[in-house]
Structure 1
Amino acid sequence: MSFRIRAITLDLDDTLWPFAPIGERIERAIDDWLHTHSPRTAQRFPIPAMRALRDRVHAEHPHLAHDYSRLRRMTLEQALSESGEDATLAEAAYEAFQAARNDIDYYPDSLAALHRIAARVPVAAVTNGNADLARIGIAGHFRFTLCSREHGSGKPDASIFLAACQRLGHAPGDVLHVGDHDEIDVLGAARAGLRSCWLNRADDRGQRRAWPHAGLRPDLEFDTLTALADWLDANHQSSPRSAAA
């Protein structure tokens, strides 16, 4: 399919990098920190118990579903309190979380493709997560990051997509949202009036998912970010990079 777009909103987790290894790294980093700085908490909350506590805190505070950072801090505070430790240690423990959270292993094609895409059109990160692009070192490729915590609600709510379009200075129909999740990214963006691109990467067995919804489909589907960069090159050869609003 060929159409012109003036800006891109881009998901992060499982789009630029796989999140599963980061999640495992976070659990180990927090566990290591607790063993050093709060052994009683580490003993009471080994990794499986800390995971269960995190799930309990999430379930008890559904109004904070858009704010993973706050929920993480609350989980650490609760773990420290329940083990008889000083809950003010949670901030230092959260820094251990942040270091692990922003220790990124990209998909092999991501960085080169992101560089090419950002040279073509303005790119904004739109995420429900809490990655810190400045800390990771790629903030220069993005006009801004709009996260669910900042916005007050997350994808697939239409308002976060529309807020990103407003900040980019372009109508939703001129903006392409790119992400891995069929509902949160693709359907959410499409229902907000944006163009949508499903980044449907192959799994460890080389298999790609079939589109699971009847009716509404993504405008584009690629299995790498490089393929999206190629599509942009083919469809925007005579278009200068759009200026930021």
Structure 2
Amino acid sequence: MSAWHHLRLITIDLDDTVWPCAPVIQAAEAAHYAWLAAQAPRLVEQHDLDSLRACRRVLMQTRPDIAHDVTALRHASLLSLLIELDYSEQQATELAQGALSAFREARNQVEPYPDVTPVLTRLRRRCQLVAVTNGNAEIQHTPLRDTFHHCLTAADAGAAKPDPALFELAMRWADATPAQTLHIGDDPALDVEAARSMGLAAIWVNRTGRAWPPELQPPLLEVSELSAFETWLGLGEAAR
């Protein structure tokens, strides 16, 4: 029997844990900007992608109420910029929504790492799998739509990791205690340290050979792909 036979819930980060994040965000930003170039030329005359990002960073400081919600932040920043450029409120609202739709469509065009789908498909038969992300990918519109039981975002929880709200929300949803929960993620602070500070077991997914931060206690387990985690759980071939 697996040493983890009591496990009821596995929470799993998304970006850079189950798919590479950078190429997806780059493609989504490009689609977003191309849409704006066609529909809101006055905006792109004044702003490139870097300045749009800078505006969002400023807004994060002045709007702490939405700083955790990357979609709301993007929408509010864009709406403000459009109104400043003399688009009417109705025009600005429609343009901001259209640009966000272009972004979201590309944002969900993810390509999971090769090990992810088979491992999660097997784990799904043994316990609840809940995605917990600070990002805004929509699992139901990605290739992993059938591998998770549920997906929770920082927007759902009202706070971003390392705040405990996402983990608490996932445990309430699955009716699981910290002792019955294990978290998997790529970020030493936002995933591993945040989870174990709440009493959750936490696994570090290190796909790029990074060094563990020396100021943090080492993780329970470091893996470069999820199949190694599956073996460590004691499932191995029996899970297949």
| Counterpart in the other structure of 1:227 | 228
Which one is further off, 138-147 or 8-17? 138-147
Q: How many equivalent pairs are there? A: 232
Tell me if the contact between 1:178 and 1:186 (Cα under 8 Å) persists in the aligned partners: yes
The alignment partner of 2:235 has SS state of helix
Q: Secondary structure at the match of 2:135?
A: coil
Distance in 1 separating the partners of 2:27 and 2:128: 32
Residue 180 of structure 1 deviates from its aligned partner by 0.3
Q: Is the 8 A contact 2:192 2:204 kept in 1?
A: yes
Identify the residue that residue 53 of structure 1 maps to in structure 2: 55
Which residue is 1:153 aligned to?
159
Partners of 1:43 and 1:233 in 2: CA distance: 57
- Cα deviation per residue 1:77-134 (whole Å; 9 max; x = unaligned)? 1232222223122111110111121111222322222222223322011111111011
TM-score normalised according to structure 1 size: 0.87
Letter in 2 for 1:66: H
* Uncovered stretches (5+) of structure 1, i.e. residues with no partner: 203-207, 239-245
| Residue identity (%) | 37
CA contact (8 A) 1:116 1:229 kept: no
Instruction: Work out the CA distance in 1 between the residues paired with 2:41 and 2:211.
Output: 47
**In the aligned structure 2, how far is the partner of 1:62 from the partner of 1:81?**
21
Alignment of 1:1-245 (within 5 A): 3-4=3-4, 5-85=7-87, 86-88=91-93, 89-202=95-208, 208-214=209-215, 216-234=217-235, 237=238
1:170-209 alpha-carbon deviations (Å, 9 max, x no partner): 211111100000001000000111110000112xxxxx12
Runs of 4+ deviating beyond 4 Å: 235-238
Deviations 1:143-167 (A, max 9, x none): 2112111111121122321221222
Q: Which amino acid aligns with 1:168?
A: A
CA-CA distance at 1:136 after TM superposition? 1.2
- The separation in 2 between residues aligned to 1:27 and 1:175, in whole angstroms, is 35
TM-score w.r.t. the length of structure 2 is 0.88
Unaligned runs of 5+ in 2: none
Contact 2:117/2:147, CA 8 A, preserved across alignment:
no
Contact preservation (8 Å) 1:3, 1:235: no
1:40-62: CA deviation from partner (whole Å, max 9, x where unpaired): 11211122222222222223222
CA contact (8 A) 1:162 1:192 kept: no
